[in-house]
Every structure is written in C-alpha cells, then in structure tokens.
Structure 1
C-alpha cells in the first residue's frame, strides 16, 4: 500500500477550509474535511485514480475531486504519494500551479 505524505501546504489548506466553513457550522466543517481525507485515502490503493492536470519535465501532478475541492498530488514512487495542496474548484488553479 502507498503511503500518503501530506505537505505543510496541504495541512494549511485543510486548516483554512475548516476554519472558513466552521464560521457557520463546525459540523459541516468536519464533514467536508472528512470527505477530503476519505477521497485521498483511496489513492493508497489506486494511485493513478486522479487525472493528470499539470506536467513539467521532471514531474506530473494529478488531481482527485472531493466535493468542491481538488486534491492535487504527485506520485513520488511506488511507495509514496505527496498531497501537495487542496484547492477549491471555483478558484483558478493556474495561479497555484505557476508557483511550482
């Protein structure tokens, strides 16, 4: 089984998502974060489940959609996947990708 490595940026994104939703409902904030974790955990058994969204010479990024959010990840090797960041689907992903 592949291990998931949540980067610092991904952790910060989850905290921001939780805090934003929790302003109105902690119940729904927990529910949304759980949905993201469940979707990401499916990558442990099926790493190529998501589609390719960005390719550079040295790496390619994939995405998995969980509700309104896009889980952006990179397959490092057969044993490790890095969850790079979590991005709201209504926002421009290109800005974050250009920073890589």
Structure 2
C-alpha cells in the first residue's frame, strides 16, 4: 500500500476551496474537502488510477478526477505519492505544473 502525502501547497488549495464554498454553506465545504481526501485515498491501493495529464507529455503527472476537481500528484520511485495540487475543473492548471 502506497503512502500518500499532501504537500503544503495542496493543503493550501484545500483551505482555499473550503473557504470559498463555506461562504455559502459551511456544511457543503466540509463535505467537499472530506470527499476529496477520500478520493485521494484510493491512490494508496491504485496509484495509477489517474489519467496522464496530456498537455505535458514530457512528464508523468497523473490527474485524479473528483466532481469538479482535479487532484494532481506524482508517484515517486519509492512508490510513495505526493499530492501537489487540487484544482477546480475550469482552472487552467498548466502554469501550476511547471
């Protein structure tokens, strides 16, 4: 089973998502963040679940989809997984994946 680590940057994205949703519904904000964590946990057993981000063929950056969100991560040589971003679906993420 792979170890999944959330980077400081990805945790900041989660806080921003939570705060944005919480303006309208604190309950929905909490539920959204919890389900994003749950979705990412499937990577422990299925690290290749995400699709390869097609706009960066030179790098293997898998993206895991969940609702309106994309969870970007890297699989290290050790098999451990670093989640480095959680992006709203309409956001152009190219500049964050450099």
Q: TM-score, normalised by structure 2?
A: 0.91
Give the match for residue 72 of structure 1: 72
Aligned-partner Cα distance in 2 for 1:63–1:33: 17
- List 4+ stretches of structure 1 deviating above 4 A: none
RMSD: 1.2
> Any residues of structure 2 matched to 1:1-100 within 5 Å, and which?
1-53=1-53, 54-56=56-58, 59-97=59-97, 100=98
The aligned length equals: 96
The structural deviation recorded for 1:79 is 3.4
CA deviation vs aligned residue, 1:18-62 (integer Å, no higher than 9, x gap): 000001111000111011111100000000000110343xx4110
* 3-state SS in 1 of match to 2:29: helix
Tell me, yes or no, if the aligned pair for 1:2 and 1:45 is still in contact at 8 Å: yes
Q: TM-score, normalised by structure 1?
A: 0.89
Tell me, yes or no, if the aligned pair for 1:35 and 1:67 is still in contact at 8 Å: no
Residue segments in structure 1 that go unaligned for 5+ positions in a row: none
The structure in which a higher percent of residues are strand is: 1
The structural deviation recorded for 1:95 is 2.3
